[in-house]
């Protein structure tokens, strides 16, 4: 069905309660390649059995970590075929370090819907509160739905983050595994675009692609390890726009610029002439 702008814009997304454990956190970090330096004490902080440190990007999977069904893009006034959808952008702002285990409640709403003519961009915001009643994090994200535009909405602004006019302070290569998407999907994102070759081809890709949120987490971990002494508590926020696809087994080139209060980052694919995969990436320091 087409997007019903009147009922969809501002619609509440049903809240849910969820919980996570140190094993879930370990599992998530392993899906991002943590433990490759298996004798490094700082690296092993991601994998401690009782109190692993938690990358803020864990927030993107925590509410749905134990789900085994493909996600649905179905809200009030919105019902979109999953094969038409790719992730547009993601931002996480943590209000305190995410604990290694806990219980929380999330509530959300649709905040913007842009009509790009041939596609629609749907924005949502989710607020997560711990069992103690205090806020844990806020997540903002958008999806890009091919063929769902033309419903009469605003086109939306166009903006980009300007990079410093100098060479990056860091230039880091991060390989991914051929099975990276199959590992990451065990964190609750069972979209067949990342595991089923036939589904991926029907969606216009030659092979299954890596989850955008896996790339998002990989780049956050790279920046945390490279610049922040592998201390995830120094990350206040992390945002990115998904600019291209990454196939499992390819290598991410992460370029990082230090500024006063944050890190500006780009991520590209080495094997395809540094084709962009993440743009407008900003890590805000706590």
DSSP conformation class of 164: P
Rounded CA gap, 259 and 102, in Å? 33
Q: Would residue 169 show up in a list of annotated catalytic residues for this protein?
A: no
Q: Which of 27, 29, 87, 194 does the annotation list as catalytic?
A: 194
Rounded CA gap, 100 and 20, in Å? 8
- Helical packing angle, 22-31 and 212-227, nearest 10°: 90
Residue 277, C-beta contacts closer than 8 angstroms, at least 6 positions apart: 215, 242, 243, 244, 245, 246, 252, 267, 268, 269
Q: Which of 24, 115, 126, 189 does the annotation list as catalytic?
A: 189
Q: Would residue 189 show up in a list of annotated catalytic residues for this protein?
A: yes
Rounded CA gap, 99 and 64, in Å? 17
**Residue whose pair of structure tokens reads 């675009």 in the numeric block:** 193
**Which residues are part of the catalytic machinery?**
189, 194
């Amino acid at each position: 069905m087409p997007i019903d702008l009147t009922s969809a814009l501002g619609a509440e997304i049903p809240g849910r309660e969820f919980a996570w454990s140190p094993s879930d956190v370990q599992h998530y970090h392993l899906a991002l390649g943590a433990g490759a330096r298996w004798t490094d004490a700082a690296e092993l902080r991601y994998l401690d059995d009782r109190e692993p440190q938690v990358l803020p990007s864990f927030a993107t999977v925590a509410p749905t970590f134990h789900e085994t069904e493909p996600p649905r893009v179905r809200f009030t006034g919105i019902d979109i075929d999953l094969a038409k959808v790719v992730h547009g952008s993601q931002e996480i702002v943590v209000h305190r370090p995410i604990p290694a285990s806990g219980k929380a409640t999330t509530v959300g709403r649709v905040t913007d819907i842009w009509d790009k003519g041939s596609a629609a961009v749907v924005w949502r915001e989710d607020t997560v509160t711990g069992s103690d009643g205090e806020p844990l994090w806020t997540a903002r994200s958008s999806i890009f739905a091919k063929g769902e535009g033309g419903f009469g909405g605003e086109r939306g602004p166009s903006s980009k983050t300007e990079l410093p006019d100098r060479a990056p302070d860091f230039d880091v290569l991060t390989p991914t595994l051929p099975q990276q998407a199959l590992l990451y999907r065990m964190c609750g994102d069972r979209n067949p675009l990342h595991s089923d070759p036939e589904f991926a081809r029907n969606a216009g890709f030659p092979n299954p692609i890596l989850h955008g949120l896996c790339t998002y987490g990989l780049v956050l971990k790279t920046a945390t390890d490279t610049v922040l002494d592998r201390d995830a508590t120094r990350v206040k926020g992390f945002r990115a726009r998904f600019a291209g696809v990454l196939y499992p087994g390819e290598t991410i080139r992460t370029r990082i610029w230090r500024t006063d209060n944050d890190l500006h980052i780009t991520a590209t694919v080495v094997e395809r002439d540094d084709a962009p995969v993440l743009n407008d990436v900003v890590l805000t320091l706590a």
